[in-house]
Copies of this chain bind each other. A is one copy, B any other.
Amino acid sequence: MDLPQDGRRRAFIEQVRPVVDCGRSAVKRVLGEELTVEADVIAEGHERIACALLHAPTGSESWITVPMTPLREDVWAATFVPGALGRHRYTVAAWLDAFATWRHKLARRTQRDDIMLALREGATLVRDAAGRARGPAQGALLAFAAALQSDAPLEERRQAALSAALRELMASVPDRSCETVYAPTLEVVVERTLARFGAWYELFPRSTAEPPARHGTLATAARRLSYVAAMGFDVVYLPPIHPIGVAHRKGRNNSLEAQPTDPGSPWAIGGPGGGHRSIHEELGTLEDFLRFRREAERLGIEVAIDIAFQCSPDHPYVTEHPQWFARRPDGSVQYAENPPKKYEDIYPLDFATAEWRDLWNELRDVVLFWVGQGVKVFRVDNPHTKPFELWRWLITNVQSRHPDTIFLSEAFSRPRVMHRLAKLGFSQSYTYFTWRTTKQELTDYFTELARQRDWFRPNLWPNTPDILPEHLQSGGRPAFMARAALAATLGASYGIYGAAFELLENTPREAGSEEYLDSEKYEIKSWDLEQEGSLKDYLRRLNAIRRENASLQSDETLTFRRIDNDQLLCYSKVSRDPKNVVLVVVNLDTQHEQSGFIDVPLDEWSLEATSRYFAHELLSGRRHEWQGPRAFVTLSPAECPACIFRIEERRSSSERDFDYFV
């Protein structure tokens, strides 16, 4: 083993954090969010050290330096707020602080001779520092150096040496010639706030026509936007809007034989009208899409489209790029299959192709094409069936040009696969929330998610066109209300497969199935949006509460609270600036009224045990006056299975508040 480059680099740095997989993946933040970096930093013996956080936009040559402060024994910390979207690097530098070591010793010296010698030594350190200084600091340091060795009384000189002024001056021109810099540098990817906080509404444009029997278009869908906007959703997500294949088209309820009038599944992409860059003829034109997007923007909604990298047998790729598809031994193109099941309406792309470079570039270009049409939000279909490295490259590539793009991963797969996709670059991910229903399950799962918060942003979906979970089938309206409240308050990001959700659609294709009967995936649906019992007003209220309460716009502070009833789930979120404390209770029992005592963490929320405070229930608007650390709640599923309390300090009122009190 060779000698190190410079053995005088004696500060030792380890465990720089946050870090994902040793720095092989980036930490996630949204614009304006802080990143607090901690590191274990030590040096031998009694040597004092100084540390700095170094950060810079990725690609920049020079570091921005932030002094770190000791957090606890041998741990240092500093915080920065990355100033722009995109990737930023960060690391930690540390060096021996000879002046601090010297100062620490001086303060403890008692013998006159020792102090005299020490002041001579200190004067040298200060003069050296003056050599590194510019402007007035240089003069000030030289003056201090002279003062340390002047004829002034010893105690006066000692006080000058120990002064805060000299300490600050010296800290401003550290000798970093023997600094250690931690390797590797780490990375944080900064995305828009929407990557963290947003309410999504999935909408099939073809089901928006009036009269409803007809095939809807992007024009009729645009008229539906005001309905979505009125409910307060931030994102309208459209399943694929591209031409739909005819060969082996699936009929209603996923039947193998389609009737001539069956519209097919939007995920069977590609036909004579084009592929992933084209608009399905029956939906309209690219112009119609742009009009739809502009109408959404006018209403304050972003449009998300579906990225489903698979082809129908009629996709232009099949003839234009035959090398992108695997062949069966008889020369026919390999369709999707999971034997004995066959999906002959889908040709998967063959990522083992020797021409993978062309294929990857084309897929990236498809995304860039839609970015060019003003789309910045992409929901990616089944990303776990394409190579992991494709996503790392594609998302990094697209975001390096368009750091405002957001990618949601539909990774309904095993935990390590779901997590890997998040680490490789997806802004958000679908989660197992869809199947977590009991108090224990929800508590465990969200406790686990909290540990992953540096790299995994959950987007909670109570339902999707593919998943009508058992609890929605059996729980009726209370189940829908409870799941919406959970999704909207446990998750800063959540989404619903719309119309089906607010209209309480809950009939499965067959007993034991989690698929919808007469699924919208295979047919045009007619939704009666004014139907009795619709949850549209409830969802509007939930979304308004989310917008009005900063604490619900992040998952960082989610904390489960004790409540003495296993059917009641209780949790809180808190924001600092603006200060906002929200306490949620959800009745998980869709059949019975449930009551319980909440443990209110008075200390944590700076509430006095002896004073009253308000628990402002935001769904009903009722304001409760509570006192002390125990609060009683009753939730009736028939009425509303959720309470969202904003905890408000009561303006203290006493005789001293009376105007004429003296």
Residues of B close to A120: CB separation below 8 A: 329-330
Q: Which of the residues B329, B389, B397 comes within 8 Å of A121, measured between beta carbons?
A: B329
A10 at interface (Cβ–Cβ under 8 A)? yes
- Decide if A7 touches B351 in the complex (CB within 8 Å): yes
- Decide if B388 touches A12 in the complex (CB within 8 Å): yes
1/0 contact string of A387-416 vs chain B (CB within 8 Å): 111101100110010000000000000101
- Decide if A337 touches B105 in the complex (CB within 8 Å): yes
Closest chain B residue, CB of each to CB of A423: B14
Residues of B close to A400: CB separation below 8 A: 1
Q: Which of the residues B106, B121, B386, B397 comes within 8 Å of A1, measured between beta carbons?
A: B397
A22 at interface (Cβ–Cβ under 8 A)? yes
- Decide if A357 touches B22 in the complex (CB within 8 Å): no
Which of the listed residues A44, A45, A120, A420 has the most CB atoms from chain B within 10 Å of its own CB?
A: A44
CB-contacts of A1-53 with B (<8 A) = 1, 3-4, 7-10, 12, 14-15, 21-24, 40, 42, 44-46
- Decide if A46 touches B10 in the complex (CB within 8 Å): no
Residues of B close to A105: CB separation below 8 A: 337, 339
Taken together as a complex, chains A and B put the C-alpha atoms of A21 and B12 apart, in Å, by: 13
- Decide if B22 touches A384 in the complex (CB within 8 Å): no
A117 at interface (Cβ–Cβ under 8 A)? yes
- Decide if A74 touches B7 in the complex (CB within 8 Å): no
Taken together as a complex, chains A and B put the C-alpha atoms of A9 and B178 apart, in Å, by: 41
Taken together as a complex, chains A and B put the C-alpha atoms of A124 and B121 apart, in Å, by: 81
- Tell me the minimal C-beta distance from A7 to chain B in angstroms: 4
A8/B121 contact (C-beta < 8 A), A339-B108, A340-B109, A420-B14 known: no
- Tell me the minimal C-beta distance from A658 to chain B in angstroms: 56
A352 at interface (Cβ–Cβ under 8 A)? yes
Residues of B close to A10: CB separation below 8 A: 351-352, 387-389
A656 at interface (Cβ–Cβ under 8 A)? no
- Decide if A9 touches B389 in the complex (CB within 8 Å): yes
A385 at interface (Cβ–Cβ under 8 A)? yes
1/0 contact string of A242-255 vs chain B (CB within 8 Å): 00000000000000
Q: Which of the residues B4, B114, B330 comes within 8 Å of A339, measured between beta carbons?
A: B114
A388/B42 contact (C-beta < 8 A), A109-B340, A356-B7, A397-B1 known: yes
A71 at interface (Cβ–Cβ under 8 A)? no
- Tell me the minimal C-beta distance from A177 to chain B in angstroms: 11
A417/B42 contact (C-beta < 8 A), A1-B400, A7-B357, A393-B1 known: yes
Taken together as a complex, chains A and B put the C-alpha atoms of A45 and B346 apart, in Å, by: 15
Taken together as a complex, chains A and B put the C-alpha atoms of A156 and B393 apart, in Å, by: 46
A370 at interface (Cβ–Cβ under 8 A)? no
A610 at interface (Cβ–Cβ under 8 A)? no
Residues of B close to A337: CB separation below 8 A: 105
- Tell me the minimal C-beta distance from A652 to chain B in angstroms: 44
A357/B3 contact (C-beta < 8 A), A389-B9, A414-B73 known: yes
Closest chain B residue, CB of each to CB of A105: B339
1/0 contact string of A611-655 vs chain B (CB within 8 Å): 000000000000000000000000000000000000000000000
- Decide if A109 touches B416 in the complex (CB within 8 Å): no
- Decide if A117 touches B351 in the complex (CB within 8 Å): no
- Decide if A42 touches B329 in the complex (CB within 8 Å): no
Q: Which of the residues B7, B108, B338, B361 comes within 8 Å of A390, measured between beta carbons?
A: B7
Taken together as a complex, chains A and B put the C-alpha atoms of A450 and B531 apart, in Å, by: 63
A360 at interface (Cβ–Cβ under 8 A)? yes
Q: Which of the residues B106, B117, B351, B392 comes within 8 Å of A8, measured between beta carbons?
A: B351
A44/B329 contact (C-beta < 8 A), A7-B356, A105-B339, A340-B108 known: no
- Decide if A356 touches B8 in the complex (CB within 8 Å): yes
Which 10 residue pairs across A and B have the least CB separation, nearest first?
A22-B22, A120-B329, A108-B339, A45-B385, A1-B396, A7-B356, A74-B416, A10-B387, A12-B388, A110-B340
Interface residues of A (CB under 8 A from B): 1, 3-4, 7-10, 12, 14-15, 21-24, 40, 42, 44-46, 73-74, 96, 105-106, 108-111, 114, 117, 120-121, 124, 178, 328-330, 337-340, 351-352, 356-357, 360-361, 384-390, 392-393, 396-397, 400, 414, 416-417, 420
Contacts A106-B339, A178-B352 aside, 13 further interface pairs with beta carbons under 8 A come to A7-B351, A7-B357, A10-B352, A12-B388, A15-B21, A40-B416, A44-B388, A46-B338, A74-B414, A108-B339, A110-B339, A117-B330, A120-B330
Pairs across A and B, CB under 8 Å, 11 listed = A1-B392, A4-B393, A10-B352, A14-B420, A44-B351, A44-B387, A74-B414, A74-B416, A108-B340, A110-B340, A117-B330
